[in-house]
Amino acid sequence: MYLINITIKSEQVPAEKTDDLLAKHRAWFTAQAEAGHFLVVGPYRDKSMAGLVIAQANSRADLDAILAKDAYYPDLATYDVHEFQANIISENITDYKGH
């Protein structure tokens, strides 16, 4: 599993492309969640234009291919990726959706 911190470089996004890129970015999240790659996705409340993804991929190379499909990739966002092992997962994790 992977923890991915994504930060959009909003100062580099052309104003005329802001809405289109954000829509494509959100559609990418949805497609990856539906494919089973993104398990949890959400924005940070204390940092604008940034958020966290908990992802599952067969390899780092596979994850990199998934990240390359984002509308902001490669120059309009940073992708800070850490591989981790989930040893404990709360059964009620879905209770926190939207919180």
Per-residue pLDDT tens digits for 68-99: 999 999 999 999 999 999 998 899 988 888 87
On whether residue 49 sits in a domain, the answer given is: yes
Domain that holds residue 73: 2-88
Is position 74 within any domain? yes
44 lies in a domain? Answer: yes
In a domain, 11, yes or no: yes
Does a structural domain hold residue 98?
A: no
Whole-prediction pTM value? 0.90
- Cβ proximity of 73 and 1 under 8 Å: no
Residue 77 lies in a domain: yes
Average pLDDT of the residues in 48-77: 97
Cα 52 to Cα 43: distance, rounded to the nearest angstrom: 6
> For residues 80 and 4, is the Cβ–Cβ distance under 8 A?
yes
Task: Tell which residue, 30, 38, 52, 43, has the closest CA to residue 1.
Answer: 38
Q: Is residue 33 part of a domain?
A: yes
Tally of structural domains, the chain: 1
Which CATH number belongs to the domain containing residue 50 in this structure?
3.30.70.1060
Residue 94 falls inside a structural domain: no
